[in-house]
Every structure is written in structure tokens, then in C-alpha cells.
Amino acid sequence: MIVLAMVGLSLCTASLARADGSAAIGEDLFKHKCGSCHSVELGKNRVGPSLAGVVGRKAASIETYSYSAAMRSSALTWDAATLDSYLTNPRAKVPGTKMTFVGLPQANDRGDIIAYLNTFK
């Protein structure tokens, strides 16, 4: 019974360690999954808005980007939980969004990208 408890504890610890994500891995994922449409350079919008400083920012708040009506009326603030939910399935989180990306099914990938975005505060 003690062995099972120790195994369970080590599994929990491993999953908690991944919960924060790796910014280094997230940078690479961002380049491949997000970088063709989004920039992390302040003021540099592409097909999608710049994601520089996105963590903690209100959705649809960059004045130089033309957001969908759905995003403008979403009342979201991009914290880690909201980003995680949105990146899982953007169209389910904000029906009517212009973002055509289907989402990231792997929680680790989302955590890593969020950790990377968190470096641009």
C-alpha cells in the first residue's frame, strides 16, 4: 500500500511539474503552430493580432487589429486558464471567431505555448 501511495505521489509530482510548461519548448511550438499568423513583436499584427503581452490582456483590445464581432463581445481576459481553454478549441470557446486554427489537443503543448507567451509581459 505504501508503494502504491509513493507511485501515486510521484505521478502527481510529475504532472504538476509540467503544469507550468516550458517556455523553451513553447517557443519552438509557437513558431510552428502559431507563428505564421501571429507575432510576439509588440505592434506587429499579421493575419492574427500580435500576442506580445497577451497574458493578462483583455480580448480584442489591440486598437490596430480588426477583430471579429464574436471576439469583441467575448469579455475574455487572457489568463492561463482562458488561453488553455481557447487553444484547446478556439471555435468552441468563442463561436464566430475569425481564427481558423482547430486547436491543440495536447495539454503539454498548450502549457508550453502559454509559458512562452508569459515571457512577453
> What pLDDT is recorded for position 44?
98
> What pLDDT is recorded for position 22?
97
19 vs 36: CA distance, rounded Å? 26
Give domain limits for the chain.
21-117
Task: Provide the whole-model pTM.
Answer: 0.83
Q: Are 87 and 110 in contact (CB under 8 A)?
A: yes
Give, in order, the Cα–Cα distances in Å from 119 to each of 23, 41, 53, 59.
8, 12, 8, 18
CATH class of 21-117: mainly alpha
pLDDT digits (tens), the chain, 121 positions: 443 333 343 333 333 333 489 999 999 999 999 999 999 999 999 999 999 999 999 999 999 999 999 999 999 999 999 999 999 999 999 999 999 999 999 999 999 999 999 999 8
